[in-house]
Every structure is written in structure tokens, then in C-alpha cells.
Amino acid sequence: MVLFTIMSAILTSSAPPTVIWEQKRRTVVRRFGKVALGVSVLAVSFLTGELCLRLVFDRFLPSGTPSYESYLSNHFKEGRPDWLLFERYVSDWAMSAKELTPRVVVVLYPHMALTNGAPTVIQPEIADIHTRMLSLCRRNNVPCTDLSSSLAQFDAFDNHPSAEAHRVIAETLHQILREGTVKVSN
């Protein structure tokens, strides 16, 4: 819930994301103490890679666009204003998250809204964004793990990750938390 509150506030406000983050952080500390804050920040850390992309992109997604992938590839090309704004938001988030929790990690996985049980792939239209997201994490000194190879074995997503795919994602995240290791992609 904290994640959605923070992301909604960031996307609907003209204030800088770091200002909104700090306001929400203070509210969480007042209500739940630092333990809940650590859990909330950790949840934000793990979900930001995909969820932040989705929330930001879906907010600006114009009607009539041929596909989600086409929109991403056209509007979030390197150097475009939308991508530069996203880079700034991720940099601000990374700085705040690292101040609030000792372990921050971004998890990337392939687009999973597939049809007819198609295999999991990084769509060619968004492969560049995936690569730039890995680079953005490196520049901000944020560990990033790519689940594409772990999820490549699944071919029956029924337009959404299956229970088995969710199990693989959960096990990978559990391993990262337990061992403090991250499979960093090159």
C-alpha cells in the first residue's frame, strides 16, 4: 500500500519525487516506526524496476497507440524527454532508497502479457529499454538482477505469469534476501 501511495503521489504531483518520498517516509515512520519503513522501502526497492516503469508509462500512454511495446520504443528512446525524466526519477529514488535501507535491488523480468502461451521473451521493441535500465542501475550503484533467463523455461503464461513463474520469482527474491547476493547482468 505504501508503494502505491508513494507512486500515486509522485505521478499526480508537480513536486519533485524526492520531496514526495520524504513526506511519505515521515508519515510511515510516525505510524509504524522504522521496522515497517524498512519493509516498505525494501518492497519499493524490489518492485520499482517493473512497477515504476508500468506506472510511469501507463500514466502517459495515449489512446490509439498500436501496442504497449511500440509506445515504449517510440517515446522512451535514449535522449528523449520522457526517458530523461524517467532517468532523473530513478536516480532520485535510488539516492533516497539507499539512505533509508541498506539493501536496495531492482529486479527486471521480461514482458509477460503474452498470447497463446508464447514463450517469455524480451520483446525486440523494448530490449533497448531493458538494457538501458540495467545501465541506469549500474550508474546509480543499485544492484540489479535480470530474471529473463530464469523465466525463459515457461511457455504457458495465459497472458499472465503462472503460479509456477511466481514461485520462481519468489525463490529468486528469497535467495537474494537470504544470501545478500544479486545476479548482476552484464
Residue 135's pLDDT is 93
- The total of structural domains in the chain comes to 1
Residue range of the domain that includes 159: 2-179
Any domain includes 185: no
Any domain includes 186: no
pTM of the model: 0.56
Residue 118 has pLDDT above 70, yes or no: no
Any domain includes 90: yes
Q: In which residue are the cell numbers 520499482 written?
A: 48
At 161, list the grid cell.
Answer: 505469469
Percentage of the chain surpassing pLDDT 70?
46
CA distance 117 to 155: 5
Q: Do 57 and 76 meet the contact criterion of CB atoms below 8 Å apart?
A: yes
Residue 115 has pLDDT above 90, yes or no: no
Q: Which residues contact 5 (CB under 8 A, 6 or more apart)?
A: 24
CA distance 178 to 132: 28
Residue 159's pLDDT is 54
Single-letter residue type at 172: T
Of residues 75 and 106, more confidently modeled? 106
Q: What is the pLDDT of residues 23-73, one digit of tens each?
A: 655 655 555 444 444 443 444 444 444 445 554 455 555 555 466 677 777
Lowest mean pLDDT among 57-61, 65-69, 99-103, 130-134: 57-61
User: Which class for 103: exposed (0-12), middle (13-18), buried (19 or more C-beta within 10 A)?
Assistant: middle
Residue 140's pLDDT is 93
Band (pLDDT 50/70/90 cuts) for residue 22 is: low
